[in-house]
Amino acid sequence: MAILLQTEAVERARLIAGISYTVDLDLTLGDTEFGSRTVVRFSCSEPGASTFIDLKAVSVESITLNGNDIHPSAISDGRLTLTQLQHANELSVTARMAYTRDGQGLHRAVDPADEKAYVYGMSFLDAAPQIFPCFDQPDLKAAYDLTVTAPQDWVVAGNSAAKQTSPGRWEFETSKPLATYFFTICAGPYETVRDEHRGIPLALHARASLGQDLRRHAPQMLDVTKQGLDYFEDLFGIDYPWGEYHQFFVPEFNAGAMENPGCVTFRDQYIFRGSVGRAEIMQRSNTILHEMAHMWFGDLVSMKWWDDLWLNESFAEYMAHRACSAATEFDDAWVDFGISRKNWGYAADRAPSTHPIAGNAADDTDSALTNFDGISYAKGCSALRQLALYVGDDAFVGGVRDYLRDHSYGNATLADFLDAISAHTDVDLDAWSKGWLETAGTDEIAVVVDGDPIGVVEAVRTTPEAHPADRPHMLDIAGFCGGKEVWRTPVFTLGATSGEETPLTGLERPKLLVPNASDLTWTIPVFDDNTLAAMPDELPKVEDPQVRQVVWAGLLNGMALSTVDPQTVLAVFEASFPTEENESLRHWTARLVRRRLGYFLPDAERQEATERIAVAATVALGAADAERVVTPGRLLAATSSDEGLLRRWVAAEDLPDAFAGDLDVRWTALTRLAQLGRADDAAIDEFAAQDRTMAGEQNALRAKAVRPTPEAKEWAWTQLESNAALSNYEALAIAETIFVAPSSELVRPHVERYFRVLPKLADRLGEFASQKIAAAAFPVGVTEQATSDAAQEALRSGRMTANVRRAIVDGTAELDEALASLQRFGR
């Protein structure tokens, strides 16, 4: 299919205006296709001109433009050419479209728990033409009149209010102006929980087999929804603009969620079916608020072109954490942001594929998607947080209100946003924008002290050599002894390398020196040797969770940059995990250390490291109260080598009470047994028979692929390479464990196969899914120079989409970081 160039979009927007769509979808035509009848009305500024509309159909029954028939052969490469346009035009298209299994377009999934089918629309980024013909670019907004025919027992919802006019027939109110990438329709025998808040109808939906879990979680999700609506309406000074507010938890969703106006879609793993910890509830709550923030910033006011996609996501990321912290029970949301989202962003910002937050020329839709990453989310959020500090919160909020009011139901640019902020402050934002938004890379900030007792404290900033920048930082630095804060001082750093000296005379030299102690800015904290040596003893005693989070940021990023020994990271984890009280820090350090530490250690030390992590999990589990056993319990199930314990847990024996009825922790234990070579196909199939759900099927694939035998790895590769029936989630499940092995020897022969097979998946599973699968399967565990060389050769000579290429570039960067660490610290 043709990729839309920005130059083509500009020209089409110059010609076309006044668009409206009348769309009629028939979802009763079978399991593979649906009917799409569309009338598009639009004006043309130059009668007689030509343009094109985007259409990706299986077959086309008829096309008429202004009463004249057009032969379907006029469609080429996903585009229908429109010639001899009049001032007012009417295009009518009747077509059949394909349901997908890759999470884009109109995705259809069958729940094996009850064989019920569910569909949902995902039009982002360029998938709307897989549902109906449209001028598919963000600045050609339009109103929609939608009708849908569906099976009579189905729930149907979309971007505006709908009513069932006859059995299986649904009519929607005319929508407010929408960009095409926001169009959605969700339909199926969904379970629904309804509520209302200040006149806004609210609804939560999930698959019928998740109905019990939906009802269990609904009160908390509805509370957060109401708190968010109140907070954002008050902050922005604009009432919620989209009428009803539906939240659908849908199967096999590629992202966390999608901000379709009035009808948000989420991955249905957020309807936790087993035990769940506070960190996961916070993550879901934050996602709910992130998508809600988009209802104003992104939906009400949309970008003109994809090069400003970062602003949508950075803003929603910032506002979600701000609202979560201020308006919900999760007042430690910024701690969660620092340990989870920022570490994702830091990794993206030090990779070869790094890019500025803004100013990235997206010449086409394909290149736009490659910058949809931790820089656009986490780093952009941090930049906006700095902007609010830099100009003052009143000026920031005043500018946001003006921006939303002045561009409602339209499109705007970064320049429009900065102009709105500038109107409320005398601060020059040009220099700020150049430093923060238009340069790549992450500064490092260290603390230097002079004298003992201290005479002077200085924050020293170093910019990346490859990406010099002069960006100001507003932050603080702090010192700790025995876990107690002995001093803290604000610092404003300027200049390329150094900040201001801050006199703090007569104070003792602390054992821990922590730059950016409140985590107010985007920087990697650098610790001196004394601080690193003291961390295993000192960090567990520090009372402030935000400081503990900043320390972990410095440790994990220092390990990636070869400035911190991986054994130091392991030692700090062993000392701090059993006593960590903040659930976000527990949850995310367990995930990050378990996932990344092994690659930075020689093969011979990896098993011992896993055993030490399991011991820390055992100690933490033994000391945890009933509400805090989830994270250490799951970590123990994933790392223990105690076959007896794992078998008892698989059999639901001796499990902590919090895991009663939890199939997922039992799957984790079974997968660990399979990884140890103690569970065969028969054992996996026997357990899968108890869990005939989508999650059960995916867990079974994951467990079979992780087995440490040549036959198991060959089976896994055959599935990825040849099984066209795999959904996006099933392929991802296999990819996640295909290179997990007790030694590199077992999987080394498949490194070449990765670079041959994975790029081809984009032809079958689309851009979103194939990028995730390529990232999950990247052979970083074969931590050898030959793997890096093979990756570089594939990047030089292989054919791959831009997003698969990005996944391989980033995977290679992580591999090269591990190789550098092994060279420096390997024993």
Catalytic amino acids? Answer: 291
Residue 201 is which amino acid?
A: P
CB atoms within 10 A of CB 243: 16
**Would you state the structure tokens that stand for residue 545, as one six-digit string?**
């969770």
The dihedrals phi and psi of 636, each to the nearest 5 degrees, come to -65, -40
- 74 vs 743: CA distance, rounded Å: 56
Q: Are 68 and 91 in contact (CB under 8 A)?
A: no
- 420 vs 296: CA distance, rounded Å: 16
Q: What is the DSSP letter of 522?
A: S
Query: Closest Cα partner for 775 from 725, 739, 823?
Result: 739
Query: Closest Cα partner for 19 from 88, 68, 84?
Result: 88
Contacts of 27 (CB under 8 A, 6+ apart): 34, 119, 148, 149, 150, 151, 154, 187
Opening angle at CA 401, ends 399 and 406, nearest 5: 95
Torsion on CA atoms 659, 660, 662, 667, rounded to nearest 10: 80
Contacts of 769 (CB under 8 A, 6+ apart): 102, 103, 254, 728, 731, 732, 761
* Torsion-angle region of 814 (φ positive above 0: left; ψ -120 to 50: alpha; else: beta): alpha
The 3-state secondary structure of 25-36 reads: EECCCCCCEEEE
Q: What is the DSSP letter of 510?
A: P
DSSP string covering 582-637: -HHHHHHHHHHHHHHGGGGS-HHHHHHHHHHHHHHHHHHHHH--GGG-HHHHHHHH
The dihedrals phi and psi of 18, each to the nearest 5 degrees, come to 55, 40
Going by DSSP bridges, is the β-strand pair 200-206/191-197 parallel, antiparallel, or unpaired?
A: antiparallel
Strands (E), 154-239: 155-158, 162-166, 169-172, 185-188, 191-197, 200-206
The dihedrals phi and psi of 662, each to the nearest 5 degrees, come to -90, 100
Give Cα separations from 19 to 7, 65, 143 (angstroms).
20, 14, 7
Question: In the Cβ-directed half-sphere of 127, how many Cα atoms lie within 13 Å?
Answer: 23
CB atoms within 10 A of CB 799: 10
Query: Closest Cα partner for 168 from 192, 144, 184, 187?
Result: 187
Q: Are 92 and 84 in contact (CB under 8 A)?
A: no
Q: Are 338 and 519 in contact (CB under 8 A)?
A: yes
Query: Closest Cα partner for 270 from 289, 257, 261?
Result: 257
